[in-house]
Amino acid sequence: MTRRFGSVLALRGVELLLRAGEVHALLGENGAGKSTLMHIAAGLIRPDTGSIDVHGRPTDLHSPRDARRAGIGMVHQHFTTVPALTVAENLALARGVAPAEWNRGAVLSHPLIQRLQHGLGPHRSVESLSVGEKQRLEILKALVGGQRILLLDEPTAVLAPAETEELIAWSKAFAAEGGSIVFITHKLDEARAAADRVTVLRDGSVHLSGPISDHSDQDLASAMIGVTEPDSDSVICSKSPSHRELLVAFKNLTFSDHRHTLPKPDDTDTAFHVGEGEIVGIAAVEGSGQRELLHAIAGLIAPAGGSGELEVTGPVALVPEDRTTEALILDHSLVENLVLASGADAPWIRSWGRISWDEARLATRRLLQEFDVRAPGPDTPARALSGGNQQKFVMGRALSRSPRVLVAENPTRGLDLHATAAIHARLRLAAAEGAAVIFHSADLDEVLELADRIWVVARGRVTEAPSGDREAIGQMMLGVPGTRGEP
């Protein structure tokens, strides 16, 4: 299988054999070609050369519909349900039948399918579903046509640990009944827990393939990233704790906007602080209120009705969650994206609001150099950069204003290991230079690795995690009864 995008060879001579009754892990860094390969199997794009055999027969997949007919269902990395419709309507849409016939046929009565449906009332609107429930609905959608081959593209990226375990258990049960699953991930432990066999892609070629038990974690990791790198040294903060100034302090905050009453990030009387040189990691499942908290600290939103207390010693810089729509205007050049983030006091703003583009270009060039952003120059559109370089630019832009407080949401989402390491080093360096760093990551391991202290936000409540125990934090994130996250 070979597929080219413009001048980029996304896949070269890739072969993947999926057996009936197995979970097959597809490992690889971002950009390795995993999604491209799966999109070909799902009929979304066509290979330049190569072929697909389903049940031993050569099959031409011109469209997702062809793939569904051939028994292949795909769950994408991003949700593809229609939020305004109900569960039943979404399923009917996926089957191509009238809404009233959504549960036609025997497919839905199968015990494994029923297990997915747990708690998903057909008349609930998709907007009201939790992230885990939406994920199950996505899988249901992929299987309602009786498909027995399931492609899961990074299904655990949005799930909490307990939900991930349940998904893995379900996947094994599905395979035990003769179904086949391709499980895309870049987490080795998940691959090991879920899969029988594994294929590792790197730069569009297969670098390892076979039963997963035959290969050590080191084997898999080196197949994924090439060389095994030594750990980069973490920077130690030079200031002793007693000299640290508190830069962020809050308690009792609540938030609301026009449409929804948002979760209350903190309704206890406990006060929370972040000092100079500290890195606080926020562990939370999506939509728990961490975004509101971070945006309030960054000064983007105000607490509702004068509630609570929030004190921030600025300047504050924000690395927003979504690189492509919140942090950058992709069609604008890098220099324009720098000017976008700058206030009216930037050195390139002259009297009467005139912009000195030459000055701004100079600053952009310095930024590209200092933060090792691979880009032809300041006039390159942001779109032309790779995800890692875009994020390095965003990070550099935030840090070039010498913030005292740095707020970051999912700063390494979608980045490969090299870029992730570069971003981590920058966050550590910012803290070492005296900034208070507060970040949230959907990846709990990243929070554990990077943070000096961890806050858990669950259902709008902030709790300081007593220790770095992964299990305990995972339970607090889900607000499991008996832990401190439960109201």
Partner 1 sequence: MNLRGALLIQTFLTLLLGFGVMALGISLAGHDAGLALGAMFRGAFGSWFALTSATLPRSVPLIILGFGFALAFRAGALNIGGEGQFLAGAIAATWVGLSAGSLPPVVAIPSLLGAASVAGMLWIVVPVWLRARFGVLEVISTLLLNFVAAALVSYVVQGPLQEPLGIYPQSDLIATSARLSLLPGTRLHGGFLMALALAGGGAWFFSRTIWGFRLRAVGDGPRAARITGRLNADRMSAVALLLSGAIAGLAGGIEIAGVTRALYQNLSPGYGFTAIAVALLARGHPIGILGSGLLFGALAAGAGAMQREAGVPAVAVHVVEAVVIVTVLLADRVTRSRRAEVSGA
Q: Is 327 in the site for partner 1 (CB under 8 A)?
A: yes
Q: Which residues of 84-113 are buried (b: 16+ CB within 10 A; e: fewer)?
A: ebbbbbbbbbbbebeeeebbeeeebeeeeb
* Candidate segments 50-58, 82-90, 181-189, 314-322, binder of partner 1 by CB under 8 A: 314-322
Q: Which residue type is seen at 49?
A: T
Binder of partner 1 out of 93, 235, 262, 329 (CB under 8 A): 329
Whichever of 229 and 257 has its CB closer to partner 1, that residue is 257
Q: Cα dihedral angle (297, 299, 300, 302), rounded to 10 degrees? A: 90
Q: What does each C-alpha distance from 10 to 2, 47, 111, 143, 327 come to in angstroms?
A: 7, 10, 39, 28, 26
∠ CA 299-302-308 to the nearest 5 degrees?
115
Judged by DSSP in three states, 450 sits in helix
Q: Do 245 and 275 contact (CB within 8 A), yes or no?
A: yes
Nearer to partner 1, 385 or 454 (CB): 385
Beta partners for residue 408, in sequence order: 319, 439
H-helix segments, 381-460 = 387-399, 417-432, 444-450
Closest approach of Cβ 6 to partner 1, in Å? 6
Q: Choose which of 6, 56, 230, 305 interacts with partner 1 (CB under 8 A).
A: 6
Task: For the CB of residue 8, give the shortest distance to partner 1 in the complex, in Å.
Answer: 6
Radius of gyration of the chain (CA): 24
Give the C-alpha separation, 419 to 227, whole Å.
Answer: 15
CB of residue 84 vs partner 1: minimum separation in angstroms? 15
Q: Does 448 bind partner 1 (CB under 8 A)?
A: no
Contact letters for partner 1, residues 16-45 (x by CB under 8 A): --------------------x---------
Alpha carbon 316 to chain centroid distance?
Answer: 24
Smallest separation (angstroms) from partner 1 to the CB of 257: 13
Exactly one of 97, 330, 432, 472 binds partner 1 (CB under 8 A); that residue is 330
Residue with tokens 């490969």: 416
Q: Please give the backbone phi and psi of residue 337, each rounded to the nearest 5 degrees, phi first.
A: -70, -25
325 touches partner 1 (CB under 8 A): yes
Q: How many residues bind partner 1 (CB under 8 A)?
A: 31
By beta-carbon proximity to partner 1, the closer residue of 278 and 409 is: 409
By beta-carbon proximity to partner 1, the closer residue of 103 and 342 is 342
49 binds partner 1 (CB under 8 A): no
Q: Could you say which of 318, 367, 454, 477 contacts partner 1 (CB under 8 A)?
A: 318
Minimum distance from CB of 23 to partner 1 (Å)? 27
Restricted to residues 358-417, the positions that interact with partner 1 (CB under 8 A) are 383
Buried b (16+ CB within 10 A) or exposed e, 313-322: eeebbbbbbe
Pick the binder of partner 1 from 16, 54, 97, 349 (CB under 8 A).
Answer: 349
Task: Work out how close the CB of 287 gets to partner 1 at its nearest, in angstroms, rounded to a whole number.
Answer: 17
Three-class DSSP category at 246: strand
Stretch of 157-165, 170-178, 183-191, 337-345 lying at the interface with partner 1 (CB under 8 A): 337-345
Does 328 bind partner 1 (CB under 8 A)? Our answer is yes
The span of 118-126, 148-156, 173-181, 328-336 binding partner 1 (CB under 8 A) equals 328-336
Please, which residue, 51 or 352, has the CB nearer to partner 1?
Answer: 352
The residue ranges of DSSP E strands in 106-243, in sequence order, are: 149-152, 180-185, 197-202, 205-211
Out of 230, 305, 306, 353, which residue is the one contacting partner 1 (CB under 8 A)?
A: 353
Q: How many other CB atoms sit within 10 Å of the CB of residue 56? A: 6
CB of 325 to partner 1, least distance (A): 5
CB-nearer residue toward partner 1: 328 or 334? 328
Q: Are 160 and 286 in contact (CB under 8 A)?
A: no
Phi and psi based region of residue 220 (left: phi greater than 0; alpha: psi -120 to 50; beta: remaining): alpha
Would you tell me which residues interact with partner 1 (CB under 8 A)? 5-6, 8, 10, 36, 299-300, 318, 320, 322, 324-332, 336, 339-341, 344, 349, 352-355, 357, 383
